[in-house]
Amino acid sequence: MSSDGAVPGSVRPGGRTARVRESVLRVAGDLLAERGFTAMDLGEVAIRAEVGKTTVYRRWRSPAGLVADLLTEMAETSLPHANTGSLRGDLVANARLVARTLADERQGPLFKALIAAAISDPETAAALHRFYDVRLTEWTPCVAAAIERGELGPRTDARALLSAVSAPLYYRFLTSGDAIDDAVAVTAAEAAATAAEAGLFRR
Amino acid sequence: MSSDGAVPGSVRPGGRTARVRESVLRVAGDLLAERGFTAMDLGEVAIRAEVGKTTVYRRWRSPAGLVADLLTEMAETSLPHANTGSLRGDLVANARLVARTLADERQGPLFKALIAAAISDPETAAALHRFYDVRLTEWTPCVAAAIERGELGPRTDARALLSAVSAPLYYRFLTSGDAIDDAVAVTAAEAAATAAEAGLFRR
């Protein structure tokens, strides 16, 4: 979220509506990170955000609706792709960003709560898939540039390659519980780059 | 679970106790796959398993205790590692097994429910981590054999390599929602093998 409350891409930019959205989504993220999706209550969100309950119920309707909008905002305000001049540089930057996000004391629990919510709720699952679609699409120019530079073959599947960079970090985060450190992030990026250079990840 | 009800590694093998465990864990898995962890009720499990409630409450104590024991049984009864004679053959077999499991109409929802439960409950998280530890350890001999055959360097980190095989499948399963097909499984295995051969995944 931008510090001036102007949410890029919002249907109703600026002003009171945007400020209300910013407050409500910040509280929703806090509650998700603290207690998870099943404890999400729109009335409590309204109180903590200091916004009228009617406004919250009318605008977001349900915890799933609120979480979907939070994911939309996270996609709108997430960091742009790197541009280091090399495939490996860009992929390492991507892996480090993912590793830092998952290790962050607010973002880590928030992502776990969002993923758990998506498992139990189809509307949240659709919103989560859109979020990852935006992130994978945002980083696609790094792969296009590597193809331009001749680092990768023209039929390289950017989405499969970028998924392979993040995947070992999410695997540790969600299943094995193994530690995620900088070496793991760098290895994830370099392994994916090596495989892509060898012609895996073809469209 | 083995078809004769004898649970390998059980503290009390065979007989009535093992049959009770088999019934209760099968019902627990069914309920998890159908409705998730938050809807898990020991009384309902007892009724559906046709086992006394007192037995269920005394032996498993809580939904988390029951899910932890289900994960223990899943680890005990899961399939052994492949032995195809080549690293790529073994890793492709591993990736296909994971892909098949995640796509299975009972196992897929069950794994999602277990992972969601682990997000909300530390006891379940510990049990989930033990399950993946058992699975990663089970397949470690495939990497040791590849080192023996000279396919990989002696310092190859089996756990990091095997995590890299499963990771792109779980990434699709839990975050991006992208389809998992046989080509994705084969690519995951071959990308990980290529990176390992290039000297990534070093201890």
- From first to last of the 203 residues of chain B, give the pLDDT tens digit: 444 444 444 455 578 899 999 999 999 999 999 999 988 999 999 999 999 999 999 999 999 999 999 999 999 999 999 999 999 999 999 999 999 999 999 999 999 999 999 999 999 999 999 999 999 999 999 999 999 999 999 999 999 999 999 999 999 999 999 999 999 999 999 999 999 999 999 99
What pLDDT sits at residue A54? 97
Measured in whole angstroms, the distance separating CA A80 from the mean position of its chain's CA atoms is 12
What pLDDT sits at residue A86? 98
- Predicted confidence band at A4 (pLDDT cuts at 50, 70, 90)? very low
- The CATH class for the domain spanning A78-197 reads mainly alpha
- Min Cα separation A128/chain B (Å): 7
User: How many CB atoms are located within 10 Å of the residue B16 CB?
Assistant: 9
On whether the CB atoms of residues A77 and A7 are closer than 8 A, the answer is yes
Give chain B's end-to-end CA distance (angstroms, integer). 35
The domain locations on chain A are 15-63, 78-197
- In Å, the largest CA–CA distance within chain A is 57
A135, pLDDT greater than 60 = yes
- Burial environment of residue B64 by CB neighbours within 10 A (0 to 12, 13 to 18, 19 or more): buried
Give the span between the Cα atoms of A4 and A10, in whole angstroms.
14
What pLDDT sits at residue B79? 92
Give the span between the Cα atoms of A80 and B64, in whole angstroms.
40
What pLDDT sits at residue A38? 87
Picking from A113, A119, A178, the nearest residue to B113 by CB comes out as A119
A171, pLDDT greater than 80 = yes
- Min Cα separation A15/chain B (Å): 33
Q: Do domains B15-63 and B78-197 have the same CATH topology?
A: no
What pLDDT sits at residue B13? 58
On whether the CB atoms of residues B144 and B84 are closer than 8 A, the answer is no
Which one of B129, B176, B181 would you mutate to disrupt binding with A, by most A Cβ within 10 Å of its Cβ? B176
- Predicted confidence band at A7 (pLDDT cuts at 50, 70, 90)? very low
Which one of A111, A176, A181 would you mutate to disrupt binding with B, by most B Cβ within 10 Å of its Cβ? A176
Fold of A15-63: Arc Repressor Mutant, subunit A (1.10.10)
Which residues in A lie closer than 8 A to residue B38 (C-beta atoms)? Answer: 38, 120
Picking from B167, B178, B191, the nearest residue to A171 by CB comes out as B167
Measured at the CA of B54, the angle between CA B64 and CA B75, to 5 degrees, comes to: 35
- Predicted confidence band at A9 (pLDDT cuts at 50, 70, 90)? very low
- Min Cα separation A16/chain B (Å): 33
A11, pLDDT greater than 60 = no
Candidates B196, B187, B126; CA nearest to B159 is B196
Residue B124: CA count within 13 A, CB half-sphere: 21
Mean pLDDT of chain A: 93
> Quick check: A115 contacting B, CB < 8 Å?
yes
Picking from B36, B177, B195, the nearest residue to A129 by CB comes out as B177
What pLDDT sits at residue B175? 98
Torsion, Cα of B180, B182, B186, B188 (10° steps) = 0
On whether the CB atoms of residues A82 and A89 are closer than 8 A, the answer is yes
On whether the CB atoms of residues A21 and A46 are closer than 8 A, the answer is no
Candidates B75, B169, B83, B93; CA nearest to A168 is B169
Q: Does the beta-carbon distance from B200 to A192 stay under 8 Å?
A: no
Which residues in B lie closer than 8 A to residue A136 (C-beta atoms)? Answer: 176
A98, pLDDT greater than 90 = yes
Q: For the residues A102-111, what does the mean pLDDT come to? A: 97
A5, pLDDT greater than 60 = no
Q: Does the beta-carbon distance from A163 to B170 stay under 8 Å?
A: no
Chains A–B, number of C-beta pairs less than 8 Å apart: 120
Which residues in A lie closer than 8 A to residue B167 (C-beta atoms)? Answer: 164, 167-168, 170-171
On whether the CB atoms of residues A68 and A75 are closer than 8 A, the answer is no
Nearest residue of chain A to residue B198 (CA atoms): A194
Give the span between the Cα atoms of A14 and A28, in whole angstroms.
20
> Quick check: A103 contacting B, CB < 8 Å?
no
> Quick check: B113 contacting A, CB < 8 Å?
yes
Give the span between the Cα atoms of A121 and A132, in whole angstroms.
17
Measured at the CA of A68, the angle between CA A27 and CA A135, to 5 degrees, comes to: 105
Q: Is B202 helix (H, G, I), strand (E, B) or coil?
A: strand
